[in-house]
Chain A
Amino acid sequence: MLDVEKIKRDIPLFQNYPNLIYLDSCATTLKPRYVLDKMDEYYQEYGVNIHRGVYELSYRATEEYDKARKKIAKFINASFEEVIFTRGTTNSLNMIAQTYGMANINLNDEIITSELEHHSSLLPWMQVAKKKGAILKYIPLNDEGRITVENFKKVLTDKTKVVAITYVSNTMGYLTPIREIIELAHKQGAVVIVDAAQAAPHFKIDVCELDCDFLAFSAHKMLGPTGIGILYGKKSLLDKMDPEEYGGDMNNDVFHDNVIVKETPYKFEAGTPAIAEAIGLGAAIDLLEKIGFDNIRQHEKELHKYALEKLSSVSGITIYNKTADIGIINFNIDGVHPHDASTFFDQANIALRAGHHCAQLVTKWLKCNGTLRACLYIYNSKQDIDIFVKTVQEVVEFFRQFSEV
């Protein structure tokens, strides 16, 4: 197990809320002081614009910004020019749909996605399909609610142009067999866009090994700041794509009737970027690598197993994803609306999410109004689980008194 007490000491929010049990890391993670300090350092020591300045301070800002990009490239095994800074996963996925999608999808082409997608992975392609007269196809989920290679084969055809798919489901915590899916999709000439928002915080991503065409994730779900994320794209594809936005810094030459844009990644980053946030993401990656992904996975697995064992002794609850691959527990207290339950958790200083988790097709598949979601991460301990399970038991008992009303 990780040294949770030490990790918590380095997160300022826990100084202000020492009793907080934070089980909402899939929504956003809490921020370590190191990340905040690195961002402050930029603002306080060299907080000027990048690229445009030729003076010493601007040179340093540019260096640090590029250094962050290099770190991220190494982190996912990509090259420097394949890493584009965006505002987050949502922005990355929309950008691909609006640029690559609008330029390459035509009437009756097929786009494959799944009911496990976060709205950010699904809705941009639904819009492209509507505008272009393309067909949106859903991979049938198996009985557990998983995407399988076998079911993917059922929807893949020679008309498939795009596969927009999640790496890890944000509600069910299932790992998608994306390597096999990517290989099959490529045989049909389709490109694959991977939503890695829930993967990047938990394990090492290798875009070369996956051979994915595009991949997106957010800094704030992996100890980094809000407002910044990554779009990875294969250079051969990015070279052929037009920028979504035009403006400062993304061009080499401007004429009265034409513009020569820069090479990737710069052509996709018009305007002053989120400099401090990029540096913050670099710092978050330093921390995650220092802790080590093997240790993170081990910690989460042990906690997850412990939580499921303890919950198995509570009657009157339904867990929808007992076989989750990532530490996400998606559940309901029988007969209690998730929002009524969440008020009880809130009173016990337990932060967890209630509702449809920006993935309404999953709750529709589960045939319920919404669910409660507890997510485990590096700053959670077995003691957190004990209090969480005790509270679950209390909610069950509290509402049981009304069952005869």
Chain B
Amino acid sequence: MNNLEFLYRQIIMDHYKNPRNKGLKGYNHVHLHNPSCGDDVIVEAKVENDVIQEINHTGSGCAICCSSTSVMSEVLAGKTTQQALDTIQDFYHLVKGEPVQNEEALGDALVYQGVSQFPARYKCAVLAWKALEQLLKGEQDE
């Protein structure tokens, strides 16, 4: 597999074409936008007893950004806030090509390893993860 095929894996394109958990339900959310490329995501989460029950999203952008949002919404649901924050940090390491603490917790998000070969695409991959990180740390948009 060459770098490009590694970046655009089947699973990534599947999430891009068929995003999971798309559509907001009205929970607390954070909206992030990358003005240089137009990637735009809103991520919301339902957190009960410190456990993430549900993550939903909406937005538009490139395949890497949109699919990564969808994958995140599946991977992090069911985790405690702290577990999710740890996995988010691991995801940042992963896409930078740095060692990760808990590979298992990343689940399907491991396919984003290919991003490390494309530093220009780092921001695309992490936008939704940044939004959720902010949300879990108590920030939210009106």
Interface residues of A (CB under 8 A from B): 336-340, 343-344, 346-347, 354-356, 369-370, 398-399, 402, 405
Chain A residues near B7 (CB-CB < 8 A): 343
User: What are 10 A-B residue pairs whose CB atoms fall within 8 Å in the complex?
Assistant: A339-B37, A339-B121, A340-B63, A343-B118, A346-B118, A355-B38, A369-B61, A398-B8, A402-B17, A405-B13
Shortest beta-carbon contacts, A-B, top 4: A337-B62, A402-B13, A339-B62, A340-B63
Interface residues of B (CB under 8 A from A): 3-4, 7-8, 10, 13-14, 16-18, 36-39, 60-64, 118, 120-121, 124
Instruction: Determine whether the beta carbon of B10 is less than 8 Å from that of A340.
Output: no
Chain A residues near B36 (CB-CB < 8 A): 355
Q: How far is the CA of A337 from the CA of B17 in the complex (A)?
A: 12
Q: How far is the CA of A402 from the CA of B10 in the complex (A)?
A: 7
Other contacts beyond A343-B7, A343-B121, A398-B4: 12, CB < 8 A: A337-B63, A338-B62, A339-B61, A340-B64, A343-B120, A346-B118, A346-B120, A402-B8, A402-B10, A402-B16, A402-B17, A405-B13
Instruction: Determine whether the beta carbon of B8 is less than 8 Å from that of A340.
Output: yes
How far does the Cβ of B64 sit from chain A's closest Cβ, in whole Å? 7
Return the chain B residue nearest A370 by Cβ.
B38
Return the chain A residue nearest B123 by Cβ.
A339
Instruction: Determine whether the beta carbon of B4 is less than 8 Å from that of A339.
Output: no
Q: How far is the CA of A57 from the CA of B38 in the complex (A)?
A: 50
Instruction: Determine whether the beta carbon of B37 is less than 8 Å from that of A343.
Output: no
Q: How far is the CA of A341 from the CA of B10 in the complex (A)?
A: 17
Chain A residues near B120 (CB-CB < 8 A): 343, 346
Instruction: Determine whether the beta carbon of A340 is less than 8 Å from that of B4.
Output: no
Instruction: Determine whether the beta carbon of B61 is less than 8 Å from that of A337.
Output: yes
Chain A residues near B62 (CB-CB < 8 A): 337-340
B18, B60, B63: most-surrounded residue (chain A CB, <10 A): B63
Return the chain A residue nearest B37 by Cβ.
A339
Chain B residues near A337 (CB-CB < 8 A): 61-63
Chain A residues near B14 (CB-CB < 8 A): 405
Q: How far is the CA of A264 from the CA of B124 in the complex (A)?
A: 48
Q: How far is the CA of A336 from the CA of B17 in the complex (A)?
A: 11
Instruction: Determine whether the beta carbon of A369 is less than 8 Å from that of B38.
Output: yes
Chain B residues near A399 (CB-CB < 8 A): 8
Pick the residue among B3, B8, B37, B60 that contacts A355 (CB under 8 A).
B37
